[in-house]
Structure 1
Amino acid sequence: MNFQHTEERRMLADTLNRFISEQYGFATRDEIARSTQGFSTELWARFAELGVIGALFDEASGGFGGGGFDISVVFESIGRGLVVEPFLDTLVVGRAIARSGGDLQNAALGSLIDGSRIVALAHGEPDSHYELARVATTRARRSVNGNSGVWTLHGAKAVVQHGEHAQVFLVSARTSGEDDAEAGITLFLVPSDATGVSVRGYRKIDGGRAAEVTFDDVTLGDDTVLGSVDHGFATLEYALSCGVLALCAEAVGAMDVAKDYTLDYLRTRKQFGVPIGSFQALQHRMADLLLEIEQARSAVINAAAALDGERNARERAVSAAKYSIGRIGTRVAEECIQLHGGIGMTWELPLAHYAKRLVMIDHQLGDEDHHLERFVALGAQGR
């Protein structure tokens, strides 16, 4: 298999990396991440103008990419710059709409690609423990009003990225079945200004903002249902596989920068009159780290190649990648900080922020323990 990127992807990566290095330096990023909004509307629009969002979707959806390697190219660059704009939720929600949306819902994808509409995934619940099918507290019931169906949505979602500024939430709700059953999950596109929707935002430890979203008897029409009633799990699983791949690629980009910072420090920091990088013990630690990063990169390549393949192979590949990223990302964060010494923990040093992001990526959309168990379970299903 040829793992070389196409000319178009290389051009996209070069353009995006150049834009981030020139317009999204660490000082700018830190100011944006700590702002009350948690991201920059202006820079989000500029990312859209560059075609970065469009690269995450295929031509049928109004984009010009959409493959696994397109996603990995974009998010690796995002990881290098610690970009906090809402790329991940735009990808996840947009791919869910593209997979299962009706004509009217698919027509709205254009507003996601041009950056004019902010969307957010509202799926996780406080006691779900990363289990994708566990939708217990958020429920929807249907009644009939004249000739059209009316749904009443009630419940709460936790850690909704950019929830304060999203105009639309993709909400998973239990419409039938047991709390942890795959059947019985329905997806709804809920306007954030609908009566009964309340949002409480907060800052995240790794930059940007998230929110807790509560739905108090929100009335919805049939046109808000994404896909088929009770059969939203497959769409959700696929969209989140795209999200897991994106997070893994982002982590590889962050690892590369953390590695470069550390190598530079080892070459310039002197002890006993010589650079500490000349000490054999530190050279061995750094060599081991470089091998681990390349293993993580290989896992991302494997997941990207499997994204559009058969379901079981796809899910095993993304879980394998997420497990690898969780383990390796934590090690990269710890080793790079230790090799820097005490300065590695200071707020002013960008490395500390890359380390935080790597640790938090492990806890987003399932940690390494969850994905290891899932990988094993999917393997048993495939026998």
Structure 2
Amino acid sequence: MNFEQSDDRRMLSETLRRYLAEAYDISHRNAVAYDAPYHDPEKWAELAELGLFYALVSEDKGGMGGHGFDIVTVFEELGRALCPEPVLGQLIAASLMADLDDLMAGTRYAVALSERDAPYDLSDISTEAVNDRLTGRKSVVYGAPAAEILLVAARQGDEISLWEVPASEVEISGYAMIDGGPAGEVFFDDTPAKLVAADARKMLANAMDRGALALCAEALGAMDVVQDMLVDYLKTRKQFGQPIGAFQALQHRAIDLAIEIEQARSIVILAASAEGTEAFPKRAAQAKHLVGKIARLVAEEAIQMHGGIGITWEYPLSHYAKRLVMIDHQLGDSDWHLERLMAGLAAT
């Protein structure tokens, strides 16, 4: 397997890293991520001008990428910057829609999947579609307060269907997630909707797997920053007249974390290489399970080795740690994906 980025992806990575470093320093990020609209509309427009969303769409739909490693390239940089822009909704929508011109131009999409009694499993969805109208409630819809268009999974008879609804036509109760960024409760009350796909279960499952890959890549970028932050702290923080990084116990713990992060990197690369193949659902589940566990471990260990400063609002680590923990709970947590893998083994 070739572990080197292509020239195009390397250029995308470098361009995005430079832009985010300038546009999203931690103080600006925290200023916009926790107050409505929980992101920066001006920066969103600039990302669209950079052509970011074209990288999430395949060439046959007018984009410039959309493959597994394109997803990883984009979201790893978003994770490094702790960017609160709801790009995940764009990726999932790009996996579901045929006409993507508006999306690539910057129209904001959110995909309403989870419900209070159906956080991850499509089979448990209770939002109902009858006569092109939707009734029900979607919970913790990522990007909902900022969205212009909602894509909604609903039950129609025995099938799970996909519908398009203008965000202005529904009631949205928006809030910031614990780690910042927009989410919301979406309420449908006999709401008119446009049918996208009558039997959408398979396409939704694939879109969720692509989203899971994106979240894994985002976690990988965030973990790289946390590791650099930790190593720098161990080198500069002194006790008993020497840097605490001189203590062997802390050295071993830091090395163990570095090994875990490389494990996460390996499974993300494997999942990205499988995107578009029959093996992808399994690889995506493996990646989300392992990365979720490692991300929580990195967050906990980094805070513990930093001590009290690690949980202060002013220190960036606390915000990275919250995001790493939250990533595990989006699009299926570690336990859910483990159960999915076990069910797959039992079926063979």
Q: With the length of structure 2 as denominator, give the TM-score of the two structures.
A: 0.98
Corresponding letter in the other structure for 2:180: G
Are the counterparts in 2 of residues 155 and 215 from structure 1 also a CA contact under 8 Å?
yes
Name the counterpart of 1:57: 57
2:23 & 2:326 partners in 1: Cα distance?
A: 25
| Residue identity in the other structure for 2:160 | I
Contact 1:121 1:161 in 2 (8 A): yes
Structure 2 gap segments, 5+ residues each: none
Q: How does 1:239-254 map to 2 (within 5 A)?
A: 239-254=207-222
1:204 deviates by: 1.2
Instruction: Measure, in 2, the Cα distance between the counterparts of 1:365 and 1:140.
Output: 23
Displacement after TM superposition at 1:131 (Å) = 1.5
CA RMSD across the alignment:
1.1
Matched-pair identity in %: 50
Give a deviation string over 1:67-90, Cα, whole Å, max 9, x none.
100000100000000111120001
Shift in Å, 1:356 = 0.3
Say if 2:187 is the partner of 1:198: no
2:120 pairs, out of 124, 127, 130, with 130
With over 3 angstroms needed to count, the CA separation of the structure-2 counterparts of 1:262 and 1:296, relative to structure 1, is: same
Match of 1:226 among 183, 192, 196: 196
Counting only pairs closer than 5 Å after superposition, residues 301-320 of structure 1 correspond to structure 2 as 301-310=269-278, 313-320=279-286
Correspondence list, 1:160-309, <5 A: 160-177=141-158, 184-194=159-169, 197-220=170-193, 224-227=194-197, 229=198, 231-309=199-277
More helix by share: 2
Quick one: distance in 2 between partners of 1:165 and 1:339? 37
Structure 1 residue 209, shift from structure 2 partner: 2.1
List alignment gaps of at least 5 residues for structure 1. 99-105, 143-150, 178-183
* Distance across 1 between alignment mates of 2:119 and 2:165: 24
Shift of residue 193, structure 1, vs aligned partner = 2.4
Distance 2:74 2:182 in 1: 21
Partner of 1:147: none
Please report the TM-score for the alignment, with normalisation by the length of structure 1: 0.89
Corresponding pairs, count: 348
Whether 1:33 aligns to 2:33 is: yes
Runs of 4+ in structure 1 displaced over 4 angstroms?
none
Q: Is contact 1:316-1:379 (8 Å) kept?
A: no
SS in 1 for 2:133: strand
Contact in 2 for aligned 1:76/1:253 (Cα 8 Å): yes
Distance in 2 separating the partners of 1:164 and 1:207: 13
Question: Hey, what's the Cα distance between the residues in 2 that align with 1:93 and 1:309?
Answer: 20
Rounded to whole Å, the distance in 1 between the matches of 2:146 and 2:243 is 48
Instruction: Give the greater-gyration-radius structure (CA).
Output: 1
Partner of residue 157, structure 1 = 138
- 1:222-277 deviation line (CA, Å, top 9, x unaligned): xx2112x2x11001001111100000000000000000000000000011111110
TM-superposed deviation, 1:53: 1.4
Say if 1:154 and 1:218, in contact at 8 Å, map to a contact too: yes
